Amino acid sequence: MIKSGDNILVRELAKIVSDEGVTIGERRLYARLREWGYICKNSTEPTQRAMNQNYFVVQVGTIKTPYGIKETKTTKVTPKGQIRIVERILEENKIEN
């Protein structure tokens, strides 16, 4: 199930879930994560609850633009989060079928 011992992007997690037999893209996965309260509404940042459970980490970086330096935040899923999210999606998919 886990294909990475490292933090991965939500986009990559969607591909792992698809490999498990549940067709889901990045956008639908984000929608599901928002539904469960793991990701903030109208954002890609994790909720404090999800951060406390160690499901996500936020990687902060900077980009130099013509207008100055801009801070970027990238949400990544931890291995613990990957396991929990994939299990929960498979559980829900089993119930639906």
Q: Taking the CA atoms of 77, 62, 41 and 51 in sequence, report the sign of the dihedral they define.
A: positive
Task: Specify the pTM.
Answer: 0.85
Q: Which of 5, 39, 72, 37 is nearest to 26 (CA)?
A: 39
DSSP secondary structure code for residue 34 in this structure: H
Instruction: Say what the pLDDT of residue 2 is.
Output: 52
User: Can you tell me which residue has the tokens 């902060």?
Assistant: 60
Instruction: Say what the pLDDT of residue 5 is.
Output: 66
Q: Which of 20, 19, 2, 1 is nearest to 78 (CA)?
A: 2
At 47-88, the pLDDT tens digits run 999 999 999 999 999 999 999 999 999 999 999 999 999 999
Cβ–Cβ < 8 Å for 3, 16: yes
Continuous H helices in 1-97: 10-19, 26-35, 48-52, 79-96
